[in-house]
Structure 1
């Protein structure tokens, strides 16, 4: 069992393969869901699984290791092997993944000597401990040891950081750590490399550019897209991440094939869920915190349902599989004579007489292009606006049998002893198909319309429309049986390939399929009017089209048991007093902290409080009354209305919204850290920037060349400290002094910068290079160091006392709602999925039977929250913590839209 490679591709056990990999993370779903997700990947034509290993999942507390249940990553790898799926293992230690802290455990941030992702002994000592646990699990499951791990990644996306000698030393240390612990399959990297590893590229677009960069770095290595971004993550308060449409996904995949890559890892193929507090935070603004769902707009959605993108992934995977022998050995061609209709372009890859053309449209609507090949024959090609259509020219499908085709070839293999070609085109389209053979072609069935057969019967040409019902053409060439099956787009979406000991089988006409642990093939009953087509050995199979495609499901009802008001009164038994401390210092990994401070107020009613170091959204209470919700963090200035000449109580309820998962500044504190000050000042610094005689507002669209130096002034009066927070350039000058922002890259944009050492009383001048606009925030916060607000108490909000309330009124402070519900009674004929809709709720968290489902926030884009069926009991307890104390009248349980589909055993 070996893995080898050359510049063209990887070779596994002597067979050249196109690596078609599905990124799936075992830690983002219950163990009970692993099999179905992996089976769905295999049914989509994936031959490999790409997974991270999350350190913080396996060592949630220092020295307490967990590899059981949902965290049994070894069992996940074993299941991949059982299902015949290879594995690309990505152990980190940094994984990004929009996962809290990029996979590092929270407690590691308490180690003052640790500098993350550097060649420093304290940090690497902890990494070695982690590697000692995780690498043997991977090592024992390498393909060389009888498992299915074929590649192991060194670190992750390290090339986004500064490259220097220390960085190279760090990567070599990790590489050597893998080798010393027994990794013998090839090593890979993504975005940044190390000697002895094959580098891949992460992207969604610009496939040619990334290919050229890899070719320049490693001309003798195979080229693989280590992360091909099928969708994108979502964060609170943003739009839904649905911009990468199914049509674009198809085009981008074809661009990858056109460039010459020999592998694609679809990131994500299935995203899953950021249960608990594991949703991360990323750069770009102060409050880009991940939602609980990690659906990612991926081919397989959060509820393991097939989508339009799944159909695209399956179609292209089958296409790649059908032509992989040619595709992996074809070279890009520069001077093949070809003529093409105006408004279209074409590039080709070829091997001998075989060729694939990628015809791209520059038109505004769907049109037919005409491609005249070097042999003089003209092929009509239907291309959507801005899209790409692949065209095969003289592909050798069998000895001395060649296919030219302008549509997708889904199957090119023997099925029940007959060489079968399944050819698919979009609804409403036609296919132009030409078969050339060294021997006469004999029709063994009824000839289709618009068919031409040459005089010597060695060339057959079809011009065929694709109907809802499959069309079958049977041929014999030199005594060998062939069949051409033409299907339309709907039928292609519902085409499924099964390979097993009894041979290859195909089922066409079912919207969804699955394979049980016992090997039974299950099918969702079609909702369409077309029939089904079964190819291959389907003994005892039935096509139950006479059954209703739907089953009625009773919606489970929530029963509100209690609503408890959470007292914003720190308990003396569970409180720390002193300067505000962050979550890690308080040894609270996730959840909430309540910061409380009493102070005397003079005759005035309004006062400003400055919090120089805060990294999470927080809710402000003054004298027990809700004041405001602060979203933009880093540093904050609060204007408070107080009771004059009295003692006032300021409380800050802070939720840990997730640690940075991608940044050069990993290891930020969570919550509030350090002193808080009274009587500060805040200035919006986006306005009044000067560029010559032009005055600019960076909150608006500005016509300025990037790199242009802008200038403005600001005034400091009676303050000795100042913070600049928001979107700023890495090249900054204040009063003529350049400020070095270590590790900063302009495209990270957001920063919190203490500029106290650069300011002076009175007028100050700031210069900054323009990067982009509009920006949401650039704020100057100033205060005086003598105005510290003392006497803070801090408590884990989970330990706050709460008491039942009878007549709840929204907005009086946080509450806990407790519900009971029974496990839904679902017939075996359905695959039900349950979700929680939190209509009307504000912000908080949800627990199911004590398990943290994750954060919620009513600002969107997430509306529904997954409740795994595997985590249900006969009677279930649902707890909702709501910061504003809103009524739960609009909360309900619902099934997802696919839950009522009827499933049957097919064979």
Structure 2
């Protein structure tokens, strides 16, 4: 797959540029350690906090999507203010001295509702997405006219943080610099006409959970550095951390560094929340992703692994962004058959990586340099251990060998500080060449000075940072040695107004830091359930000092919140026969949810019908997902609309039929190209038929498959059925092993009872292209997967016998076969129900009228609103995380103080729904629940997530 990047505009090259070896930002070789997060999944009040946590984790860049339906939810009504203020977000990124990669779409995926497309696009006749379709491009252009000036005015050459832009996302055809058709040409010309000047690319680069693989990333044909825009770190099906995550993803990151990568972007580094109705059908409110920075801002073990790799890569970016493969020169540095060695070489120095791919620790004998420096290094299972050789620190000091794990390095004026992560097995061993006479100062006994060199051999002191310094001709080297836990608590940052960074060590997390003349003030925190932080040190260019910290006195905190007695309001009034629906959206046949511009996950449908005789009736209607039918205001049944039909009893006479429908998020339309009107329909859609008796829909079984060698003119070429070549096939199986392939699929439909006048064969999804035969005769062709289609059989003679259905399927990528069950519909002609009314949404959760005290043991037959009040307990010095636990409820939404927390139940476990701290207030808070089945809230509670909570304190120091 093409992984090239379009070149920088000439005027921007001094600000952002690249060659085949690396990126250059403001003329300096720069390793891009990027963190994926979505501002759309974070309240604006928390943008700064989340970005700062990523910056502290060593990241110098963020990558974001600009979800179309987040900014233009209703046609022509754009929102770039408040939580939608992209310009404000990018300004914060810039203020934090970070960069941004912006993925402008128009498609996004991202486990987001409809992949980011506005819902109203579904109802535009003739519109086809992601191809050269005039109707689609018209609306893309209108959106880009609003969006792109915001992004492009924040390009780095204009003082903003934006260094790269991605057009489109994960398209089947156009990645990197491939321009396969006029659709991509249109996107490109539109963006360039609006002022795109920084490097850009299509769809993405190297999306994978292990993007580096096991080979070298060097490619002489590539004009730009290797870069991954989606390094999948954990997955969206996970909440929180697993014990193995940190080691697994640290290894995959170090492979990028060791094999020649120019950077990476974790998707996701912070996941956030799907507030409101923004989730797709795979998620609910949480989009935690098991990420480094949790949904509630807590730091997971994987965070510190990412921090280590990022700080190392950025410390030696002048090597990594300008290097060649030097593995051959160092292949004999360590003698162990299980150890892999790779190396990168640049004019300024070399990096050597010792890779232990086994599940056992290796104690390797390392022989380095012409003077044969020999030491034993213990390398943990799956660890990649970096060594540094011949690295030029300044004009008088060269780091000849670091036979120890350098955590990072920072220049502080005339002082270079080197962080060394040591252990009981691996002491700190550094060898320097000097041009002049070195003078050892702090820790002098651990230095060895000879003519033209100075070396350090030092054991680690558990739980503390030990300082060693020497000086040559006014240039100072400070070496800070600590174990892994100490390095986790060591932070490099800048002070406003100064270009020289400072180092703070000892706090579990360092937040804001400021310096007023000689008085330093900072904020620190440690996990709520962890031990209190110990001694905290500040390291400046020429001095270090111990900081004092001030804790709030309270050690106690509440873990639950008391809720006031619940009230309820009937949200099923729309089912009452006498309800006035005259102002509702009307149509002959029911229309999909959203046709009335309502963007929620709920909708009501109403009509009247006249039943000729009492008995069991079957109603057929297309759509999705869940539905509850009410006849004359009384609940009749619940069913899944996607099943196609529902059966219930009715009495003779005229009735009011009300149907409540709800869904759990729309499909993200991954890899989908074409018309979207009938893809993943929600609510009720199309003609509604009612017929006495039933059910009339069955699912085909006993499918068989045989392989075809190639795609040919399949007409009259169906192979003879023979069980020696035709094998049993299970719907959903991939018979092509994720490769291009072709095959025949066949089943037999038995004669249907009741002598129907027609038979419908419904294919919900075939992957990818299908030719359909009935009794050997070609009757239909269909292109594309995840797109339903139907074949009608209405010949009376054919219907009197069993029917042989044969498909020829052409698969061109990934999995292939019959994705979804194939259903047979024998209803024939029933009573058509028309004159439908629709009302989208649950109603107004903030409305003051209609509330009553929730009576004990009362049950409900349809949707209900419930509300309560609560006061957040005061816990000085504690940053508590509160979650609404929806125990005992069915499906629905939760609002706190008017903010929609998203959809429940969660699909990543019973974690509760995260309440952003900025949405809570001192005094009385309000919680409102909309439960679609009307389940009582007796078991609902608001509880503290102790694992995500933090203790906060103030750091002070006088310089």
TM-score grouping bracket, smaller chain normalisation:
0.7 to 0.9
Change in Cα spacing, 1:811 to 1:341, as seen in structure 2 (3 Å) is: farther
Q: Deviations over 1:698-738 (max 9, x none)?
A: 27989996756554333352342121235755456444448
Q: How does 1:640-679 map to 2 (within 5 A)?
A: 640-643=647-650, 652-663=659-670, 664-665=672-673, 666-667=676-677, 668=679, 669-677=681-689, 678=691, 679=694
- Paired position in structure 2 for 1:120: 133
Change in Cα spacing, 1:774 to 1:648, as seen in structure 2 (3 Å) is: farther
Change in Cα spacing, 1:136 to 1:728, as seen in structure 2 (3 Å) is: closer
Secondary structure of residue in 2 paired with 1:203: coil
Write the distance in 2 (CA, Å) between the matches of 1:300 and 1:312.
12
Change in Cα spacing, 1:21 to 1:772, as seen in structure 2 (3 Å) is: closer
Write the distance in 2 (CA, Å) between the matches of 1:452 and 1:163.
51
Q: How does 1:400-549 map to 2 (within 5 A)?
A: 400-405=397-402, 407-415=404-412, 417-425=414-422, 429-431=425-427, 433-438=429-434, 442-446=439-443, 453=448, 456=451, 458=453, 460=455, 462=457, 464-465=459-460, 467-477=462-472, 480-500=475-495, 501-502=497-498, 503-515=500-512, 520-524=521-525, 527=531, 531-536=535-540, 542-544=547-549
Residue 225 of structure 1: how far off its partner (Å)? 1.5
Worse-matched range after superposition: 893-902 or 224-233: 893-902
Contact 1:136–1:181 (CA under 8 A) maintained in structure 2: yes
Structure 1 residue 259 and structure 2 residue 259: aligned?
A: yes
Q: How does 1:218-297 map to 2 (within 5 A)?
A: 219-234=222-237, 245-280=245-280, 288-297=281-290
Q: How does 1:511-590 map to 2 (within 5 A)?
A: 511-515=508-512, 520-524=521-525, 527=531, 531-536=535-540, 542-544=547-549, 550=555, 552-553=557-558, 555-567=560-572, 568-569=575-576, 571-573=579-581, 574-575=583-584, 576=586, 578-590=588-600
Change in Cα spacing, 1:329 to 1:860, as seen in structure 2 (3 Å) is: closer
Residue 250 of structure 1: how far off its partner (Å)? 0.7
Worse-matched range after superposition: 379-388 or 455-464: 455-464
Q: How does 1:225-374 map to 2 (within 5 A)?
A: 225-234=228-237, 245-280=245-280, 288-333=281-326, 335-336=328-329, 337-338=331-332, 339-351=334-346, 354-373=349-368
Residue 766 of structure 1: how far off its partner (Å)? 3.0
- Paired position in structure 1 for 2:826: 783
Write the distance in 2 (CA, Å) between the matches of 1:768 and 1:369.
58
The partner residue of 1:614 within 608, 623, 633 is 623
Q: Deviations over 1:835-877 (max 9, x none)?
A: 2121221101112333322211266535321222323354332
Change in Cα spacing, 1:360 to 1:620, as seen in structure 2 (3 Å) is: farther
Write the distance in 2 (CA, Å) between the matches of 1:241 and 1:699.
35
- Paired position in structure 1 for 2:759: 720
- Paired position in structure 2 for 1:893: 942
Contact 2:568–2:864 (CA under 8 A) maintained in structure 1: yes
Structure 1 residue 391 and structure 2 residue 387: aligned?
A: yes
Change in Cα spacing, 1:755 to 1:552, as seen in structure 2 (3 Å) is: same
- Paired position in structure 1 for 2:790: 754
Write the distance in 2 (CA, Å) between the matches of 1:221 and 1:162.
14
- In the superposition, the TM-score normalised over structure 2's length comes to 0.82
Residue 74 of structure 1: how far off its partner (Å)? 1.3
Q: How does 1:40-189 map to 2 (within 5 A)?
A: 40-159=53-172, 167-189=180-202
- Paired position in structure 1 for 2:892: 844
Write the distance in 2 (CA, Å) between the matches of 1:549 and 1:51.
39
Contact 1:230–1:269 (CA under 8 A) maintained in structure 2: yes
Write the distance in 1 (CA, Å) between the matches of 2:312 and 2:382.
21
- Paired position in structure 2 for 1:747: none
Worse-matched range after superposition: 123-132 or 791-800: 791-800
Secondary structure of residue in 1 paired with 2:307: helix
Write the distance in 2 (CA, Å) between the matches of 1:429 and 1:317.
24
Write the distance in 1 (CA, Å) between the matches of 2:364 and 2:636.
64
Secondary structure of residue in 2 paired with 1:755: strand
Task: Give the gaps of 5 or more residues in structure 1.
Answer: 192-199, 281-287, 745-749
The partner residue of 1:20 within 23, 33, 45 is 33
Write the distance in 2 (CA, Å) between the matches of 1:776 and 1:883.
30
Write the distance in 2 (CA, Å) between the matches of 1:368 and 1:802.
73
- Paired position in structure 2 for 1:194: none
Secondary structure of residue in 1 paired with 2:350: strand
Write the distance in 1 (CA, Å) between the matches of 2:303 and 2:233.
10
Residue 882 of structure 1: how far off its partner (Å)? 0.8
Write the distance in 2 (CA, Å) between the matches of 1:901 and 1:848.
24
- Paired position in structure 2 for 1:764: 804
Change in Cα spacing, 1:849 to 1:457, as seen in structure 2 (3 Å) is: same
The partner residue of 1:696 within 701, 709, 728 is 728
Change in Cα spacing, 1:853 to 1:517, as seen in structure 2 (3 Å) is: farther
Contact 1:241–1:296 (CA under 8 A) maintained in structure 2: no
Structure 1 residue 205 and structure 2 residue 210: aligned?
A: yes
Residue 773 of structure 1: how far off its partner (Å)? 10
C-alpha RMSD of the superposition: 3.8
Change in Cα spacing, 1:434 to 1:540, as seen in structure 2 (3 Å) is: closer
Write the distance in 2 (CA, Å) between the matches of 1:166 and 1:544.
58
Residue 422 of structure 1: how far off its partner (Å)? 0.8
Change in Cα spacing, 1:554 to 1:362, as seen in structure 2 (3 Å) is: closer
- Paired position in structure 2 for 1:742: 783
Contact 2:386–2:406 (CA under 8 A) maintained in structure 1: no
Residue 73 of structure 1: how far off its partner (Å)? 1.4
Write the distance in 2 (CA, Å) between the matches of 1:565 and 1:807.
16
Q: Deviations over 1:335-381 (max 9, x none)?
A: 32415412232222222593323333342333323444575545544
Task: Give the gaps of 5 or more residues in structure 2.
Answer: 1-13, 707-722
